[in-house]
Amino acid sequence: MDTELIIFNEYCQKSHTDPTFIISLEEGGLIEIRTVDGERYLLASQLRELERYSHLYYDLSINIEGIDAIHHMLERMERLQQEVSFLRRQLRRFQTKDDFFQEEY
C-alpha cells in the first residue's frame, strides 16, 4: 500500500504552522505522524483534515479539546447522513413496490 508522505518540518515551514500544534493533534489521536529512518512525515491523505483543524485553531481560537469534540460530532453527523440516505433508498424501493401492487389491483 503506497501512501504519499510529506516531510513534517517542510510542511510546518511552508504552511507557517507551529509543530507543537500538529504534535498535539497527534497526541489527541486526530492525525498520524509517521517516522521513517528518523524523519517525521505527515500522510498526504490527512492534509484536508489538518487544514480544517488549523483553521479551527488559528482562525477561530478553538483549543485541541474543542477540535476533538468537533471532529467527533462531524463524524457522527456523517454516519447519520449515510444512514438517512440508506433509509431513503429503502423507502423509495418499498414505495415503488407498493405502487406496483396497487396498480395491479
Selected from 1.10.1660.10, 1.20.1250.20, 1.10.1740.10, 3.30.70.120, the CATH number assigned to the domain covering 3-101 reads: 1.10.1660.10
Average pLDDT over the chain reads 91
Please state, in angstroms and rounded to a whole number, the distance separating the CA atoms of residues 18 and 57. 11
**Residue 43 near residue 3 (C-beta atoms within 8 A):** yes
Q: Please write the tens of the pLDDT for every residue from 49-95.
A: 999 999 999 999 999 999 999 999 999 999 999 999 999 999 988 88
Torsion sign over Cα 59, 62, 64, 67: negative
